[in-house]
């Protein structure tokens, strides 16, 4: 039986998807407002398999969060704290090097993000990258969100391109996708007042792409955003990708409420549901026709949803991780790390083929694919 027959409400959209015709804002809104999760999944999986067949990419990575001191203190976030908070920390160079010493062979990426700490100047971050590169010359350093780069630019009174040039010289290889949250001004001014605007976030990624860096992109959902805000956000990413081609992966991130100011202001908000997670993922896969990969982050959706996501548009499963702090500060009940063998098991049991990649999607290991 056909999932989307000629009388199905999405028959017109399904035709476009099969013909590779770009979906409009109105199409996106219809999809986002729908509860027909099977039809959404069917279309998203079609696109996902057309691009990547049965492959699921994963990488072996580590996270380092050098400081949790943050002057931006977004209401949705439970990670950043004030300087005088008893939980405040900033890693010394010795602590950073110690973490590098603990990195086993086989790790190909270190993901580095932290709070907007006003006391740390650009030389702290240059030194951090230099020390990591010296100890781990073959490991890719994916570091600093556009929001952090904007902060470095203000603290050091230097334009972002100069900040980026210095960080690239010190060992920066690419940028993660955090900090995008939701671009629409109204919800952004509530969940992330004082944060870099959506427009500026996009501008900084554009500068980075033009300087030859690849980056990722994200969207934070399940807070006070509307369905239209989500579609506008995806279209904002798609428009930039048309101009630069620099985004590698989109990662939908559901908001976790615990220990946040936002849940105090909006006590009716709640944890995301599996249904919403799959819907946002599938619609993103359908709208972002020019972004190659869609990542599911097991740390935040949980391993069971992450596995299911591999049939709803996701072709990438992040990652071995180790020492995740941002989501665990906000109540995530997932583990803080996963063995590579477990990642492979999850992918295989979903009937997909695991392929280990590096940050730039070069294939590191296909032994699993042919096992
Ligand atoms: O920007 C922070 C989100 C992001 C909360 O680029 C929260 O490969 C939910 O961007 N509830 C950081 N979300 C994580 C991130 C990321 C993760 C994995 C891979 C990549 C990549 C990027 O986490 C923040 C924000 O959007 N966040 N606090 C919270 N309470």
- Asked if 113 and 176 count as a contact pair (C-beta separation under 8 A), the reply is yes
Q: What angle do CA 181, 184, 190 make, to 5 degrees?
A: 70
Strand 293-297 to 316-318 pairing: parallel
Q: Is 78 in the pocket of ligand 1 (CB under 6 A)?
A: yes
Q: Is 315 helix (H, G, I), strand (E, B) or coil?
A: coil
Q: Is 76 in the pocket of ligand 1 (CB under 6 A)?
A: yes
* pLDDT computed for residue 370 by the predictor: 45
Q: Determine which residue's CA is closest to atom 4 belonging to ligand 1.
A: 178
pLDDT tops 50 at residue 371: no
How many A from CA of 367 to the centre of ligand 1? Answer: 31
In angstroms, rounded to a whole number, what is the distance separating the alpha carbons of residues 111 and 325? 12
* pLDDT computed for residue 367 by the predictor: 59
How many A from CA of 173 to the centre of ligand 1? Answer: 19
Q: Determine which residue's CA is closest to atom 16 belonging to ligand 1.
A: 178
Nearest to 332 by CA among 259, 252, 230, 265: 259
ipTM, 2 decimals?
0.97
Atom of ligand 1 nearest to the CA of 76: 30
Give tens-digit pLDDT for 247-295: 999 999 999 999 999 999 999 999 999 999 999 999 999 999 999 999 9
In angstroms, rounded to a whole number, what is the distance separating the alpha carbons of residues 349 and 352? 7
Atom of ligand 1 nearest to the CA of 330: 30
Instruction: Confirm whether residue 217 is marked as ligand binding.
Output: no
Q: Is 59 in the pocket of ligand 1 (CB under 6 A)?
A: no
How many A from CA of 148 to the centre of ligand 1? Answer: 13
* Mean residue pLDDT across the chain: 95
Q: What is the DSSP letter of 4?
A: S
Q: Determine which residue's CA is closest to atom 2 belonging to ligand 1.
A: 77
Q: Is 224 in the pocket of ligand 1 (CB under 6 A)?
A: no
In angstroms, rounded to a whole number, what is the distance separating the alpha carbons of residues 246 and 60? 22
Helix (H) or strand (E) holding 63: strand 61-64
In angstroms, rounded to a whole number, what is the distance separating the alpha carbons of residues 181 and 353? 31
Instruction: Confirm whether residue 74 is marked as ligand binding.
Output: yes
Atom of ligand 1 nearest to the CA of 181: 26
Give tens-digit pLDDT for 306-355: 999 999 999 999 877 677 777 778 877 777 678 888 899 999 999 999 99
Where do the H-state alpha helices sit in the chain? 11-19, 25-33, 37-52, 93-102, 122-135, 146-155, 160-170, 185-191, 198-210, 227-244, 261-265, 274-287, 298-301, 303-309, 326-329, 340-349, 367-370
């Amino acid at each position: 039986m056909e999932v989307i027959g000629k009388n199905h409400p999405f028959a017109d959209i399904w035709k476009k998807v099969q013909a590779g015709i770009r979906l409009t804002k109105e199409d996106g809104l219809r999809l986002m407002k729908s509860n027909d999760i099977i039809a959404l999944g069917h279309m998203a999986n079609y696109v996902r398999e057309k691009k990547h067949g049965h492959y699921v990419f994963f990488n072996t990575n580590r996270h380092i969060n050098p400081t949790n001191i943050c002057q931006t203190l977004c209401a949705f976030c439970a990670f950043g704290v004030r300087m005088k908070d008893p939980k405040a920390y900033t890693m010394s160079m010795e602590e950073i090097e110690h973490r590098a010493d603990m990195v086993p062979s086989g790790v190909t990426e270190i993901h580095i993000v932290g709070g907007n700490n006003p006391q740390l100047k650009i030389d702290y971050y240059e030194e951090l990258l230099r020390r990591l590169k010296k100890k781990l010359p073959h490991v890719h350093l994916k570091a600093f969100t556009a929001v952090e780069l904007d902060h470095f630019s203000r603290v050091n009174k230097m334009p972002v391109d100069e900040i980026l040039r210095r960080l690239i010289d010190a060992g920066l290889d690419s940028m993660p996708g955090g900090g995008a949250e939701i671009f629409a001004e109204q919800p952004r001014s509530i969940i992330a007042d004082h944060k870099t605007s959506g427009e500026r976030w996009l501008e900084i990624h554009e500068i980075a792409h033009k300087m030859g860096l690849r980056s990722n992109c994200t969207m934070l959902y399940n807070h006070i955003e509307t369905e239209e805000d989500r579609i506008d956000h995806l279209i904002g990413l798609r428009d930039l990708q048309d101009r630069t081609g620099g985004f590698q992966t989109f990662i939908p991130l559901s908001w976790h409420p615990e220990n946040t100011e936002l849940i105090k202001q909006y006590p009716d908000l709640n944890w995301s549901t599996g249904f919403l997670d799959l819907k946002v993922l599938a619609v993103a896969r359908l709208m972002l026709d020019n972004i190659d990969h869609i990542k599911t982050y097991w740390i935040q959706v949980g391993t069971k949803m992450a596995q299911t996501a591999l049939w709803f548009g996701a072709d990438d499963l992040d990652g071995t991780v180790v020492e995740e702090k941002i989501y665990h500060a906000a109540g995530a009940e997932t583990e803080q790390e996963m063995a590579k063998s477990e990642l492979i098991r999850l992918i295989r049991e979903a009937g997909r083929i695991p392929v280990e990649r590096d940050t730039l999607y070069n294939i590191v290991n296909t032994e699993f694919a042919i096992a």
